[in-house]
Structure 1
Amino acid sequence: MPNDLPDESNERPAGRRPATDDPHYFGELRRRVLDELSTVRGRVDLANSNLDPTVAKEQLRLAHAGQRLSLLQDNEAWLWENEPNALRQFADGRDIDPAAIDPYIVPVRTTGDANLFRYASLTWSVPVSSGYGRRSRFLVRDRQNGKLIAIFALGDPVIAQSARDSVIGWTTEQRNERLYSVYDAFVLGAVEPYRQLIAGKLVALMSLANETRDFLTQKYRGSVTEIRKEVKDPTPVLITTSSALGRSSIYNRLVYRGQTMFRSVGFTRGYGHFQFSNALFAELLEFVRTHVTETRDAKAASAIYGSGPNWRFRVIRNALKSLDIPDESLQHNVKREVFLAPTASGWDEYLRGETNDYQPFDLPAADIGEFWRERWAVGRAERRPEYARWSHHDHRLTAELTRPTAVAGHTLARHGRVTLGPYSIAVAVSKEQIRGRTPNGEADEGTAIFHKLEGDDLELTFADVRWSNGERELRGWDRHGSGTQYEGIIGRLRLGVHSAQRFRGMSMAEVRLVKPGEGDQAPQVFKTSEMELSAILGFNLAASLDGLTEALIGQRGNLLQETGARKNQLAVVFDDNDLVTPAVVWATTRAIALRLQLDSAAELPRTPAIARRPPKVEEIPDGHYSAFDV
């Protein structure tokens, strides 16, 4: 190996990378976690402070607002495509004759039913769980108009739950043997306008109906359990559920023909992870995979259902530990009321293994519907006739996405992030329409996608500019408070990006290395080699880009089969839509290389790693730079 290549000890070692290797990314992620936790904790503490129950529940809904906003944004494209069909299956109030409501259960089997279930679940203020293991979804429809009344879903219960287990009185061995006969209603609720007619009580009873039990028994009969690999009786003898917002008004006092159907057995400890939005959890998972675990295939990545429980908990706990955030942050203090609903006599003796016999209750859906209609729906409609004014056209979820929305403490990081040890690149922070001169000197308009390079006493904004005439370049934009030595790469020493004629859908940029000018002269860029780049940067740029984005670095003659005067010039080839590769090339061959050559004490960068992938161009937010000339 040539002597001027860096020693292998300068390379980032494979495997675990301490989070503090990149203090900028570490600090940004830690602040986001603390902001979300603080907002949720404030709402929950207020709800638990002797407020009127209605006001307290509203505070708990607000505590979930950030999570719900994130969920709607994640589903935005799907909502725009599927909302019209879904909404047509919601009743207007005028479509309902309360005395003629005739509910029936529909197991979700078709794509259309699945889309309707998904849309309905997104209408609620508290996002629903996706469940665990066995999962079966159901619609409750009204025969009088074909419209949706409610939805529910049943899945595997958690293995250990103190409130449930203390009532059943089973041992760990007994629980392992008979837990398969217990299902958890992890989704259960009515939709508008039936919700106003207390249809929440209807759907709770429908989860216990003969039709529900028969479907589950037929679906899972003969199936091998995921964890213990056994064949067991799947007939439900007990349904469990928990309230979303503290004490429940739906399950309490839910009596069917003189029998209490749901029994309150206590409250959860208020321990969970809803306070971490889906967007934040996705980032924490990527953080754990790339900065915490020994390999990308280590515990957090491989702990899927069937190889270990509580995967989401473990990911968050690992992330919090590495971010120096106390594990107590998983204590959100929303204590949910736990209910047990037996579906057979002798259910508890059966679950304890004291008998193999049980007698299922006879609960036909038609009888449940008739009872609910006479007991609750008709009287409620007379007392609260405003349900008739409800219109599904006025409650589109896409309308929530188009109106300005802000949730305190809920800061979605839309940009990407590439870490290089003591340096970090925020990729695609914002975009703006600009006017200026292209690399070929033409006056033109274009779109500038802004990135930010950060390091100790270093903050540089640079832009990936796509001109309307087809030209593309990367250029320094603003040195902010960074030293005057960087002035020479602001607006100068552009990195031109061109079509790679040999490869369809690929772009090419020459890789030139900045070198400081002598005296008062400005820095310039010069032809370089992989060896020279490695000697200055402390890592092999070509190899790192290959692993990072599958970009290729080599001489133009080899990569592009060119034979002209520039055939020996170093170049990089990458996908047309790739924002990361050109950003890394500009940052390393311009700003970081200049810093390293001017300051012998400056820290070497590490091999780049993607901590958070950047958004698509159309998803990049508009920035704070107004349209301007460059």
Structure 2
Amino acid sequence: MNAPSKTPIRTARTASAAAGKALVVPHPAHIQAAAESLREQVLAACGAMDLAVASGDKDFLRAMHIGAKQITQQREKANALFRRHQRHFKVGSQIDPARIDPVLQPAETTGLWSELFFVTRCMWSMPYNKGYGRRLRYVVYDQYHESVIGIIGLQSPPADLAVRDALFKSPAETKLSLVNATLDAYAVGAVPPYSFLLGGKLCAGMISTDTIRRGYWRQYVGKQTEMSNAQISQPLVGVTTTSAFGRSSQYNRLKYKDRLLAEPIGYTQGYGMLHLEHLYEEACSFLKLIGKYTDPGYGNGPKVRWQNMTKTLLGVGLPSSMLRHGVLREVFLYRFVEDFDKGMAGGEFGAPINLSEQDFGSYWRERWAMPRAARFPDWSQGDEHATIQRALNAEFATPAP
């Protein structure tokens, strides 16, 4: 009788080799070394952040944003687009404050206004992102001088925002649909030379204009939300936004005549990836080593970067609470309709509160721009083009509002 043939045990490596691939299994010592290195860097970053927050060192916080910006910003694209569209970015000596005539230009996914939005957004210290969910983007444009003043970027609101939710106490069964009647302003601000004339207040005030409400209605009426898979039937009833660093002069005391446009409602709890952003690529490499990396593709849930960093912290033996950076950002609320509180509590929303671009633009010019120009006559003496190029190259950045 012939002896039975011996079939080799097909390990993961030999099976993969049979398929023409070599499965590389990282050595435990390699994983341990990577974990220890990351752990030390996270602890150092958190310690530095704690000191900066405790001392109120905003320069350090801006430097953290710029560090993150250097990772994510498409510098070459931004610089090329700025060179192409430089005529739309005037210097101060070309601007007459009394003739500034602001309008909102929708920034679609392609075209001139989209490119101007991208260049403007890339000047700021905050890392560039496209927003998520429902999005509206506008360039605030001076049609008299043919020059960019600033931008407004709106996106789907967070499903949970403690200070907002505590204020309205929406019924649990309708909370998502009510939240979906609002948006979140994620990018609002002005560029030089208009920023010297408090152009940030102009951009922030333009959020309250009829153009925003009507633009939302035209783009999203009858469409489904990603959060609840329900049709959007409500008009846009309000907007929330947060400051970048604590209190915000851009939103504080922002009024149109006697109407308060941006109402301060509290502060965030200070969580995010600001202090760990520079470690994200290394964190992803570590997760790939241990087989726990989540790809940012469709269907993997929201906040993939947050998911990956949380798994990294747990993987190196640190609590997820290390994501608390401690920067308490002020939250502001815009009310677009009468009886807003009643509607958010499950009742009926009232009529829209109307405000035209022209009315607010004229008010801003008389209330803020011209008095500012008179008080600071040197406002127009800078070289804004050089300033913009330095910001695009992350040598420094226009402070986020």
Structure 2 length-normalised TM: 0.86
**SS across alignment from 1:48:** helix
Q: Is the 8 A contact 1:98 1:378 kept in 2?
A: yes
2:306 pairs with 287, 290, 313, which one?
A: 313
- CA separation of 1:400 and 1:166: change in aligned 2, threshold 3 A: closer
**Where does residue 331 of structure 2 map in the other structure?**
338
Cα deviation 1:558-577 (Å, max 9, x = unaligned) = xxxxxxxxxxxxxxxxxxxx
Specify the alignment match of 1:244 in structure 2: 244
Question: Does the Cα contact within 8 Å between 1:47 and 1:59 map onto a contact in 2?
Answer: no
User: 1:614 — aligned with what?
Assistant: none
How far residue 78 of structure 1 moved from its aligned partner, in angstroms, is 1.7
Alignment of 1:57-96 (within 5 A): 57-72=58-73, 75-96=74-95
Aligned to 1:585: none
1:35 aligns with 2:41: yes
One-letter amino acid of the counterpart of residue 166, structure 2: S
SS of match in other structure, 2:180: helix
Quote the Cα distance in structure 2 between the aligned partners of 1:87 and 1:60.
30
Shift of 1:127: 2.4
2:381 aligned residue (383, 389, 405): 389
Tell me, yes or no, if the aligned pair for 1:33 and 1:280 is still in contact at 8 Å. no
Quote the residue 1:8 is aligned against: 10
1:152 aligns with 2:152: yes
Name the counterpart of 1:301: 295
Contact 2:68/2:127 (CA < 8 Å) preserved in 1?
Answer: yes
Secondary structure at 2:153 match in 1: strand
Q: Deviations over 1:268-323 (max 9, x none)?
A: 1111112233x743453454355233xx7xxx23774x663333221211122222
CA distance in 2, matches of 1:253, 1:276: 33
In structure 1, list runs of 5 or more residues that go unmatched.
406-630
3-state DSSP class of the match of 2:138?
A: strand
Q: How many residues align?
A: 386
Quote the Cα distance in structure 1 between the aligned partners of 2:172 and 2:258: 34
Cα distance in 1, alignment partners of residues 371 and 243 from structure 2: 25
Question: Separation in 1 of the partners of 2:323 and 2:130?
Answer: 19
Q: For the residues of structure 1 that align with 2:103 and 2:81, how far apart are their CA atoms?
A: 24
d(CA) in 2 for partners of 1:159 and 1:394? 41
Equivalent residue, structure 1, for 2:283:
284
- 1:498-537 map, 5 Å: none
How does 1:178-217 map onto structure 2 within 5 Å?
178-217=178-217
Please give the residue correspondences for 1:604-619 in structure 2 after superposition, counting only pairs within 5 Å: none
Residue 77 of structure 1, CA deviation: 3.0
Find the residue that maps to 1:216 and give its secondary structure. helix
Task: Give the distance between the partners of 1:131 and 1:174, measured in 2 at CA.
Answer: 24
Distance 1:255 1:268, change over 3 A: same
**Are the equivalent residues in 2 in contact too, given 1:79–1:397 (CA < 8 A)?**
no
| Alignment partner of 1:371 is 2:363 | yes
Residues 261 and 282 of structure 1: is their aligned pair in 2 closer, same or farther, counting only changes over 3 Å? same
2:39 and 2:316 in contact (8 A); partners too: no
Distance 2:337 2:83 in 1: 41
Distance 2:314 2:272 in 1: 16
Cα separation, partners in 2 of 1:104 and 1:265, compared to 1, 3 Å: same
Give 1:181's aligned amino acid. Answer: A
The 2-side partners of 1:229 and 1:131 are apart by 19
Q: Which residue of 1 aligns with 2:115?
A: 115
Please name the residue that 2:399 is paired with.
Answer: none
Alignment match, 2:27: 21
Shift of 1:241: 0.1
Higher strand share: 1
Distance of 1:133 and 1:19 partners within structure 2: 38
Q: 2:339 is matched by which residue type in structure 1?
A: G
For 1:233, the equivalent position in structure 2 comes to 233
Is the contact between residue 99 and residue 373 of structure 1 (CA under 8 Å) also seen in structure 2?
yes
Amino acid at match of 1:281: Y
User: Residue 180 of structure 1 contacts residue 233 of structure 1 at CA under 8 Å; is this kept in 2?
Assistant: no
SS in 2 for 1:94: helix
Aligned counterparts of 1:382 and 1:363: Cα–Cα separation in 2: 27
Change (3 A) 1:155 1:197: same
SS in 2 for 1:361: coil
1:463-478 equivalent positions in 2, closer than 5 A: none
The equivalent of 1:620 in structure 2 is: none
CA 1:381–1:351: 2 relative to 1, 3 Å:
same
Out of 328, 334, 343, which is 1:350 matched to?
A: 343
Q: Percent identity?
A: 29
The residue aligned with 1:361 is: 353
Structure 1 residues 254 and 76, CA gap change in structure 2 (3 angstroms): closer
1:347 counterpart letter in structure 2: F
In structure 2, relative to structure 1, the CA distance for the partners of 1:389 and 1:45 (3 Å cut) is same
Is residue 79–residue 389 contact of structure 2 (8 Å, CA) maintained in 1?
Answer: no
Shift of 1:349: 1.4
Measure the CA separation in 1 of the matches of 2:14 and 2:180.
48
Greater length-normalized contact order (CA 8 Å, ≥ 6 residues apart):
2
* Residue in structure 2 matched with residue 255 of structure 1 by the alignment: 255
Alignment CA distance shift 1:138-1:30 (3 Å): farther
Q: Secondary structure at the match of 2:184?
A: strand
State the Cα RMSD in Å: 3.0
Deviation at residue 253 of structure 1 after TM alignment: 1.1
How far did residue 130 of structure 1 move? 3.3
Q: 1:396 to 1:257 in 2, by over 3 A?
A: closer
In the aligned structure 2, how far is the partner of 1:44 from the partner of 1:377?
38
1:324-370 per-residue CA deviation (whole Å, 9 max, x = no partner) reads 33322211111111111111111121122212x42111110000000
Which is helix-richer, 1 or 2?
2
Q: Is the 8 A contact 1:40 1:64 kept in 2?
A: no
Paired residue type of 2:68: Q
Distance 1:243 1:173, change over 3 A: same
Alignment-derived partner of residue 20 in structure 2: none
Provide, for residues 446-478 of structure 1, a one-character-per-residue CA deviation record: whole Å limited to 9, x for no partner: xxxxxxxxxxxxxxxxxxxxxxxxxxxxxxxxx
In structure 2, do the counterparts of structure 1 residues 10 and 216 end up closer, same or farther at CA, with 3 Å as the change threshold? closer
Shift of 1:10: 6.8
- Distance in 2, matches of 1:41 and 1:88, equals 45
Contact 1:44/1:334, CA 8 A, preserved across alignment: no
**Counterpart secondary structure, 1:367:** helix
| TM value normalised by structure 1 | 0.56
2: CA distance between counterparts of 1:320 and 1:12? Answer: 33
**AA partner of residue 42 (structure 1):** A
Compared CA separation, residues 351 and 307, structure 1 to 2 (3 A)? farther
Correspondences of 1:418-567 after superposition (within 5 Å)? none
Q: Judge which range, 77-86 or 102-111, deviates more.
A: 77-86
